[in-house]
A and B are shown apart, each in its own frame.
Chain A
Amino acid sequence: MLLEVNQLTKVYPSIDGPIEVLRGIDLQVAAGETLALTGESGSGKSTLLHLVGGLDTADGGRITLAGHDILDMDDRSRAELRRTDVGVIFQQFNLIPSLDVSANIAFQARLAGSYEASRLQTLAASLGLDAHLNKFPEALSGGQQQRVAIARTLLARPKLILADEPTGNLDEETADEVLEQMLGLVAETGAAMMVVTHSEKVASRMQRRVRLNKGRLL
């Protein structure tokens, strides 16, 4: 199993006392599997995604990714995990504004030491970005920026792709287009993908879907 989550809990402090966002989550994802994570706003979807991606720390439980216990790792090791094994695609694209498109796409792969220039060209061409490689993110449309984020993730060849509302900021037509390209390319790399979404359409395209409600998996 690529990803195993056992009895995961996460508590956020608040003025009204601690809020238990995740309450004993158990979840497994196999290599190459695609999974939709759905639920109401505030149900803990994004929190789960961040914990699995090594972006945040949990208050209890265990997460094993490719044989490594994420929650036992220090900051440096988690950063290495994010560079090599995990790719994250955010709703707001989160490109690095000071780098041009080409440097943005190459950034994570170069950090991970897995950069291939020819593959960047191939990915850019398949995502329709080849004419925009020297532009800066601010010069691109939302759809184009999300394609850059997808290319960035795929070029680094992660084992697990985490996508948080990847099409949430796009109009319907562009969203369909981007989703189609993303699924095709993910299938090519053989990576597993976990997508947080409110969209029924996006969820229906995944092999499996799980629903979170008030911090528990249904």
Chain B
Amino acid sequence: MIRVGFSAILSHWRRNLLQLFSLVFGLALATALWSGVQAINAEARASYDAAATTLGEGQYDQVLPRSGNTISQDQYIALRRAGWQVTPVLDDALGPIRRQVRLLGIDPLTAPAGLMPVGQGEGRDIVRVLTTRFVFVNPNTADLLPEDPALQVIIDDAVAPGVAITDIGVAQQLLGKPAQINRLIVANTQPINIPNLDKIAPELFVKSAIGGQDVQRLTDSFHLNLTAFGLLSFAVGIFIVQGVIGLAFEQRRSLVRTLRALGMPLRVLIWLFVGELIAFAFVAGALGVVMGYLIAAVLLPDVAATLRGLYGADVVGALQLRPVWWVSGFAIAFGGTAIAAGGALWKIARMPILASARPRAWAVESNKNAALLALAALALLVTALVLAIWGRGLLVGFVLLGCLLTGAALALPYFLLGVVSLGRRFARGPISEWFWADTRQQVPGLSLALMALLLATAANVGVSTMVSSFRETFVGFLDQRLAPELFVSVSSDEQAKTLDAYLSEHAREVLPVVSIDLQVADVPTALFGVRVESTYEENWRFLRAQGDVWSLVQSGNAAIINEQLARRADLWPGDMVQILPDLTLPIAAVVADYGNPLGQVVINEAQFLQRFPDQRAQRFGVRTDDPEGLSQRLMDDLSIEAANIVNQEQIKAFSLNVFERTFKVTGALNVLTLAVAAFAILMSLLTLSAMRIPQLAPAWALGMTRRELGQLELVRAVVLAALTTILALPLGLLLAWVLLTVVNVEAFGWELPMYLFPALYVRLGVFALVAAAVAAMIPARRLAYTPPGTLLKVFANDR
């Protein structure tokens, strides 16, 4: 019985291959976009985990100096003698700019297990490691290491990209920093009753493991956006599947009645349908995971470049096939099918055995719960409004997004019906009147596909606005921070003194960059001493300011802090900030400092040097009208190497290149989501086209040509897509607003200003219309070339 029943159920698909394709491919697309994005996120997170494991960040507490970047050997020995289980680390960049490797020197004897890949595999025993100049690197990083025949390079996948690990002695030698230590890693287990750090080394402090998650926190912003995109694409795909499953079940009502009348129990029948759906979900899930893998493989190099450029987080640019994707891909495919088919299965389960076998019009059926959906849309939109006004917190931000998008999608058919009714009111001529009346009739049948288009377009507008706003802000920020034409670095205080004197004569302005790390209001902070010049006054833009900021800073009567410190310590212009035990200043302004997890305080150079006379600037911003000439003179007169003179145009170009990569990822996702929406429209129109013949045949018989009817079908699809796109624009902007001012602030601690990009919206709108037109072209063409015989079948009584 089961075999016979199953074959009867499956026979529907043999005669409706288009529906079958639509179902499987729709589900596969939904799964692909979701699992592709998840693959990218998982790969990136795996890289962060590798970094955390190899660098000890986020895993172990660390002892750091309260000021400066060096812990003396004596301090380390004092701690060890006092019983502290700490291991020394020297951590610095090795190699020329842009080919730098982060060299990590660790003591293999005292390092916590797992921090260094010692004892794991042949040739890595501790004795050999201690007696050889070895260095462990990731395969992607190996070729960045400087040529050194005495160095034994061991390739290891477990090492984070961009990092090389070696014995601390070797690191001190390679970096030219004998007997220097940056930080101490604190073992998780410590002896009881060890003396307090303040008593042994008051100039040191313990930074807890949680503080090391900054990079991850920052990159979460990026992953959040990708996940939002993936989820929306999945929702778009599910709209397709729901439409197809709804129609397929509606068309099989007579089959269900017949099978039940012939003695098949309802329970068996339901299980057969479930089995059929599981089979489809399995095939579509597998297809989706493979497609998702391909999408991720194509996008990952750009994502890796973006993350590295924006946040300094290193991600391997190649994808590994992880079993977890298969699991999550299938889970999403099965979950999606269950969501899409739940309603249809419920209807079959409740259908009386003698229910009408005549399939009701799909459009009418889709419209049946119209009042309920209208109420739901209204409730969701009101909830979104309430949350936007009174809601607080990250979770509320996401609930607000969900309510807004779902409410708008459910409200779409009413918006379309309203505009179409208006169109009809102003229509002149029989064809125009018929067009609007007929369009009104088509709205329910097309509404699922149009909802998909609405979500896809709104997501594109929202995410593009967010990314572009970020870009605009960041470019402004670069202009502000990279105003000097040249940045010159030297490696000794002596050279710095000579350079400063030389530049004072040959440059328009000299802006030394000198800073020291310390804690301000319990926030790890960099204190900068700046030489106040007109460059700062002309270029720095403040989020909040009070009084004549730069005059106050120059006279030593105020400090500037960055947004991160302001938000974390709740310090704002007018408040007093204790920078050092003997230095408390009023805050004159808060400055934006995107992408930096640390706090920042800016005071004048004299004030800084008075307290830290040993800290000399070794990096200088230089204002000049002849950057090329000055660079050459610096090389000729002071023998400064070319690698130590950086033209700000190069840095800007590099930073902007990072954004172009980000745009490439966003652009690719834009295309993919709109392609899915276009597919939804195509499938809906193709499915409806068979039902259209009886509706269109009378108009043809009364004197309209098939060509006219085909053209009007195309115009109808474009008009509906255009109306949907018009609604998608404000919805997308609201989405961007929520992401920028609610989610971003709650998740990452800074607010980004929102800019509008009309040209971008026009381009996206045109793209959405083209997608809809391309999708409508096939059914329209098919209608235009429908043989008269097919149209005549509508009128035939006998043949």
Contact = CB atoms under 8 A, between A and B. Distances in A.
Specify whether A and B are partners. yes
Interface of A: 12, 41-42, 46, 50, 53, 55-57, 75-76, 79-80, 82-84, 88, 90-92, 94-99, 103, 106-108, 110-112, 152, 164-165, 168
Nearest to A115: B430
Contact of B795 (A92, A106, A112, A152): A92
A112 B703 contact: yes
Interface string B410-435: 00000000000000000001110110
Interface of B: 429-431, 433-434, 437-438, 440-441, 695, 697-708, 788-789, 791-792, 794-799
Contacts of A84: 703
A91 B706 CA distance: 22
A100 to B, nearest CB: 8
B219 to A, nearest CB: 53
What DSSP secondary structure best describes chain B's contact surface?
helix
Nearest to A152: B702
A56 B700 CA distance: 12
A105 to B, nearest CB: 11
16 contacts: A41-B798, A41-B799, A42-B799, A50-B788, A55-B792, A79-B700, A88-B702, A91-B797, A92-B795, A95-B698, A97-B695, A99-B437, A106-B430, A107-B430, A111-B703, A164-B795
Given A97-B441, A106-B430, 9 more contacts: A56-B789, A79-B705, A80-B703, A83-B702, A84-B703, A90-B701, A98-B437, A152-B702, A165-B797
B797 A111 contact: no
B698 A94 contact: yes
B693 to A, nearest CB: 12
Contacts of B434: 96, 98-99, 103, 107
Contacts of B697: 94
Contacts of A92: 794-795, 797
Nearest to A50: B792
Nearest to A85: B703
Contact of A46 (B700, B701, B705, B796): B796
Contacts of B701: 53, 55, 82, 88, 90, 94
Contacts of B702: 82-83, 88, 107-108, 111, 152
- Kindly name the residue among B430, B438, B788, B799 whose own CB sees the greatest number of chain A CB atoms within 10 A: B430
Contact of B705 (A42, A76, A103, A164): A76
A55 B703 contact: no
A98 B431 CA distance: 12
Contacts of B704: 79, 111
A12 B703 CA distance: 24
A182 B702 CA distance: 19
B705 to A, nearest CB: 4
B435 to A, nearest CB: 9
A110 B441 CA distance: 21
A46 B789 contact: no
Given A88-B701, A98-B434, A164 B794 contact: no
Nearest to A12: B789
A164 B705 CA distance: 21
A57 B698 contact: no
A93 B788 CA distance: 18
A160 to B, nearest CB: 14
A12 B788 CA distance: 12
The 9 A-B residue pairs whose C-beta atoms are closest, nearest first, are A83-B703, A110-B430, A98-B437, A41-B798, A94-B698, A79-B705, A98-B441, A82-B703, A98-B438
A96 B703 contact: no
Given A82-B702, A94-B698, A164 B433 contact: no
A94 B788 contact: no
A57 B440 contact: no
A102 to B, nearest CB: 11
Nearest to A92: B795
A99 B708 CA distance: 18
Nearest to A90: B795
A91 B799 CA distance: 14
Nearest to B708: A79
A41 B544 CA distance: 89
A184 to B, nearest CB: 23
Contacts of A168: 797
Contacts of A57: 788
B695 A56 contact: no
Contacts of A97: 441, 695
- Kindly name the residue among B697, B702, B798 whose own CB sees the greatest number of chain A CB atoms within 10 A: B702
B430 A46 contact: no
Contacts of B706: 75
Nearest to B694: A94
Contacts of A165: 797
B706 to A, nearest CB: 7
B792 to A, nearest CB: 6
A97 B441 CA distance: 9
Contacts of A99: 433-434, 437
A46 B441 contact: no
A75 B705 contact: yes
Contact of B788 (A56, A91, A152): A56
Contacts of B794: 92, 94
A46 B798 contact: yes
Nearest to B433: A103
A46 B797 contact: yes
A111 B707 CA distance: 16
A127 B697 CA distance: 25
Contacts of B799: 41-42, 46
Given A110-B430, A111-B702, A98 B440 contact: yes
A50 B798 CA distance: 13
- Kindly name the residue among A41, A88, A107 whose own CB sees the greatest number of chain B CB atoms within 10 A: A107
Nearest to B429: A110
B698 A96 contact: yes
